[in-house]
Chain A
Amino acid sequence: MMQFMLLFSRQGKLRLQKWFSAYPDRVKKKTTRELITLVLARKPKMCSFLEWKDLKIVYKRYASLYFCCAIERDDNELLTLETIHRYVELLDKYFGSVCELDIIFNFEKAYFMLDEFLLGGEVQETSKKNVLKAIAAQDLLQEDEAVESALKEYGLY
């Protein structure tokens, strides 16, 4: 299973963190710091996999953002690269050419998307269409609410 996923910028700023097992906060902070340093120090042509403690780290850079996943010893590295890619595609489709700022300003959406795609450290749904459908259904609910509250404001509801 995937243990955790980190998104961070080229400047080493953490943009998103998802932990699939319970880790103490102290360990989370230390791990994040270590991995950001480790991954940022790697050169472009290097292998996307590295061993770290008893986990395997799989990372890939998209524009200014690094996506970095920690998987267990018998997990599949290449497929993890594509798990990352699929998540990027989902974000891209949802935000329309996603950029780092989208993830900063809509971090909660990035989390909701991740929950539809990965759960408990395993891939839940690989169909792009189905994930986006689920998110769209959520958005629909919230739009209803937005209309409702707008109406309320004007005393029409």
Chain B
Amino acid sequence: MPTVKGDGMRGLAVFISDIRNCKSKEAEIKRINKELANIRSKFKGDKTLDGYQKKKYVCKLLFIFLLGHDIDFGHMEAVNLLSSNKYTEKQIGYLFISVLVGASSDLMKLVIQSIKNDLVSRNPIHINLALHCMANVGSREMADSVGGDIPKLLTSGETIDSVKQSAGLTLLRLQRSSPEMIPLGEWTSRIIHLLNDQHMGVVTSATSLIEALVRKNPDEYKSCVSLAVSRLSRIVTASYTDLQDYTYYFVPAPWLSVKLLRLLQNYPPPEDPSVRTRLTECLETILNKAQEPPKSKKVQHSNAKNAVLFEAINLIIHMDSDPNLLVRACNQLGQFLQHKETNLRYLALESMCLLATSEFSHEAVKKHQDTVITALKTERDVSVRQRAVDLLYAMCDRSNAEEIVGEMLEYLESADYSIREEMVLKVAILAEKYAVDYTWYVDVILNLIRIAGDYVSEEVWYRVIQIVINRDDVQGYAAKTVFEALQAPACHENMVKVGGYILGEFGNLIAGDPRSSPLVQFQLLHSKYHLCSPNTRGLLLSTYIKFINLFPEIKTSIQEILGSDNNLRNPDVELQQRCIEYLQLSTVASPDVLATVLEEMPPFPERESSILAKLKKKKPTATAEGGEEKEKEPRTIPQAQVSTAEPAAPVPLQPVGNTAPAANTGGAIDLLGLDTAPAPAAPAASSGLGFLVDVFGDQPATNGVDDDSLTPGAEENFKKFFCKQNGVLFENDLLQIGIKAEYRQNLARVGVFFGNKTTFQFTNFTSNLVLADSIKSAVSVQPKAVDPVVDGGAQVQQLFNIECIDNFTDAPLLKISFTHSGQMQKLNLKLPVIISKFLEPAEMNSEAFFTRWKALSQPEQECQKIFKAQFPQDTEQVKQKVLGFGLSILQGIDPNPDNFVSSAILHTRNQQVGCLVRLEPNKQMQMYRLTIRSTKPEISKALGDLLETQF
């Protein structure tokens, strides 16, 4: 046991040793529980404890808390220590409060009283103790009740330096948490003049405070600029012996220098010429010093010196007014690009991004293009490579775009997965922005798809189609290139999509060449058909119908495909419907009608690139515009940051078919333009499904359900609730039914909202929850009755309190009936109360996870499913679904970051069951493997069946 400093608390040291000697987590917990019981009994006991004992026990509690255990007592004893007249007891009391007592605690009033007492102590050490506690807790209540005394303490001539220092930063903390609590108007000038204080420590502390105040109120503090410049000047020109202990490894006051340079970045370049000259001299001196030979070989020396240098460069970039300084800064950073320290290379790349946005230094940055490209290829740390990508993006303009885009494309082939998507976006943006020749642009995008197809988001390939459609000079080239690209034996599905779309529009432009005759084009596309997802197949079917219009000579071959059994009876309703409709259209419509309906798409309205929007959304700071438009604001350069990827943006532009139901689209052109497909299952049949349905006269029945069979669409809507609690369960022309549910452990409160969409009353309205025999013993329901009359336009609510007693698989059935304008209406819906709703996410570390995983190794405890993805395998969306399902997302457990590992506890009245889940997406195959383990085989299976339907 090492020696304990100061007044040893022997009991504490023994306890810490005991904990360290524990061989297992269990032993540790046991020891801790024993200690907690001991302390609890001591605190509760009749014998009054002396200060030393209290201090010792409070300290032990603190130690236990810092090990990661919850502490729910001892707070009062800690507060008692605050009023002890022994310093060490008071100190431990304050430490406990700072670490463990939240600002909202009931005890805060007592704490504040002690702080008040200590602030007026004659002993500065006691005053500082109180100040430190305030700075650590920083609550509004403190600001309100004692904050007002701090400015005086800070500026009074009586106060000793160390107290001033603490007071400055305490005031800063209180300002941050409750800025309006402490009016500083009368103190402004005195606070600013702290910059002139004799004591460097006071200036160091005050500068941080002033910077925070300046940010809120720059005008009021304007006079700090000249003081800051002169202080900086004195430091920069000081020899390293002048400042004694404030010199750090031969660098004079690096912390204060950086703070002053930061402070000045809140203002434009000084107006007063003498101040301005002095500042320029400072900055030049700092740049000059960077060229001097180092005074020490220690890394601390170079770090401190360069910290000041980088901050000076930030200020130079912020002022953006002195070309000489900007170019010098750029040259200095250029030297760092090849420095042996990784840290310096990283920072140089980052700072240069800012310089690239200044018109004065943009050209100077470009000189380093080759070095940056080398960095991209050779850096061993991905975070440095990422900076290189950012810099290339920032320095790109019309003159070097082709080269930079080329290099980025080349690098993309071997780039880290973590930065690929962002690189794809950047390449796509640069190619579009600086394209002079749009054939180049088309080549770049097709290359992107070829090299990194999985990372090409919808925005990117939508955009290339938009541009090709809007620019007729590139259409022939696009058709030819995409046709060639499709000839590769294996090409990415995105390539098939772009190819399908472009050939459907412009295939005729290359049809003259026998090598790409209509039939060859069609056969080439169709050879990919069976390998594609339903979405893409839908798009290809639209291409085929367009081909019938473009190339009447291959009509029969296409009709054969459309009419094939496989298509007409396809289990995917979307595909089935397209085939039936397109086949009918090609049969019944005259060539004129066909030509009108299948006309070339009109140009898209010009708008901001959706890709740029996506990049911005991905990283809100990434708005830097290279080239002509310059961002003046510093620090708004593309910062690669993949971890915060947001869910994919709703796509503003949809040139190709998706499967969203479009029940109310009235116009026939809308339906047939490749835009949206009619939805066969859409329940709202009565409001004119439009042209197609009328033509084929096949109106699906939406109502008049008998007995227990489900209303059409009920199953689909039911499934949508697996990963969410609230939403619309059903909607037709008469009625909308919404669900709002809350779950706590094994209890649920489900509100069902019935909205009458008509202007007439519903009468005889009933809504009953029916439990199948299989679940009667597993679920208990307390329904509330609902009023038999629902007025037109009104909404009524029905509440169900549900308790989960045991595992169940069938959902309760919600049977609704009512009379509307004399007609009886019946609906049978599934209420989305399923077993997974009673899951509670659980957190655990990898050790605990694997221990439990291994413990559940009997075959029947595991349920594994391998299935095809129904939805795009977007990581963020999958994550949201997993969370929505009631599972946790555990990080750092699965070595493959694409996989999801989760744990949860299932609460039923009879039992609580721990569940472990692993979901492994395979993006290449568009498959998932799902593995669930729990102690109860039937629960593993039930969860597996539910989860399988969601991805």
A positions within 8 Å CB-CB of B: 1, 14, 16-17, 22, 29-30, 33-34, 37-38, 45-54, 73-74, 76-79, 81-83, 85-86, 94-95, 99, 101-102, 104-109, 111-112, 115, 119-130, 134, 137-139, 141-143, 145-146, 149
Contacts and interface: CB of A to CB of B under 8 A. Distances in A.
B383 A119 contact: no
Interface stretch (B232-240, B249-257, B556-564): B249-257
Contact of B255 (A47, A94, A106, A123): A123
A112 B88 CA distance: 11
Contacts of B843: 29-30
Residue among A99, A121, A128 facing the most chain B CB atoms (10 A cut-off): A121
A17 B66 contact: yes
Given A14-B68, A46-B342, A122-B172, A78 B135 contact: no
User: Most B CB atoms within 10 A — which of A34, A52, A81?
Assistant: A81
Interface string B172-183: 110011000000
B337 interface: no
Contacts, number: 199
9 contacts: A46-B381, A47-B383, A77-B343, A101-B2, A104-B20, A108-B92, A120-B135, A142-B6, A149-B52
B645 to A, nearest CB: 12
Contacts of A145: 7, 86-88
Given A22-B138, A78-B303, 10 more contacts: A47-B343, A77-B307, A78-B306, A79-B255, A79-B311, A86-B248, A119-B173, A125-B162, A127-B245, A137-B125
Contacts of B380: 45-46
A111 to B, nearest CB: 6
A8 B128 CA distance: 28
What is the interface residue range for chain B against chain A?
35 or more
Most B CB contacts (10 A, CB to CB) among A14, A37, A82 go to A82
B87 A138 contact: yes
Contacts of B88: 141-142, 145
B384 A82 contact: no
B254 A51 contact: no
A134 B162 contact: yes
A121 B640 CA distance: 26
A121 to B, nearest CB: 8
Nearest to A24: B102
Identify whether the interface residues of A are mostly helix, strand, loop, or mixed.
helix
Interface in B309-336: 310-311, 314
Interface of B: 1-2, 4-7, 13, 16, 20, 52, 59, 62-63, 66, 68, 86-88, 91-92, 95, 98-99, 102-103, 125, 128, 132, 135-136, 138, 162, 165-166, 169-170, 172-173, 176-177, 200-201, 204-205, 208, 244-246, 248, 253-256, 258-259, 262, 300, 303-304, 306-307, 310-311, 314, 342-343, 345-347, 380-381, 383-384, 635, 639-641, 643-644, 843, 845, 891-892
Contacts of B262: 74, 76
Nearest to B13: A105
Contacts of A81: 303, 343
A98 B392 CA distance: 44
A85 B300 CA distance: 8
Nearest to A120: B173
Contact of A146 (B7, B68, B102, B643): B7
Contact of A115 (B103, B136, B845): B136
Contacts of B245: 127-130
B201 A34 contact: no
A23 to B, nearest CB: 10
A133 to B, nearest CB: 9
A127 B205 contact: no
A119 B2 contact: no
Nearest to B174: A120
B343 A127 contact: no
Given A46-B381, A105-B16, A82 B307 contact: yes
Given A130-B162, A138-B91, A145-B7, A37 B892 contact: yes
A46 B7 contact: no
B484 to A, nearest CB: 40
A127 B202 CA distance: 11
A2 B643 CA distance: 21
A119 B135 contact: yes
A111 B99 CA distance: 10
Contact of A126 (B6, B13, B256, B891): B256
A77 B639 contact: no
Contacts of B59: 108
B304 A79 contact: yes
B6 A109 contact: yes
Given A33-B845, A126-B204, A146-B7, A105 B52 contact: no
B132 A119 contact: yes
A102 B2 contact: yes
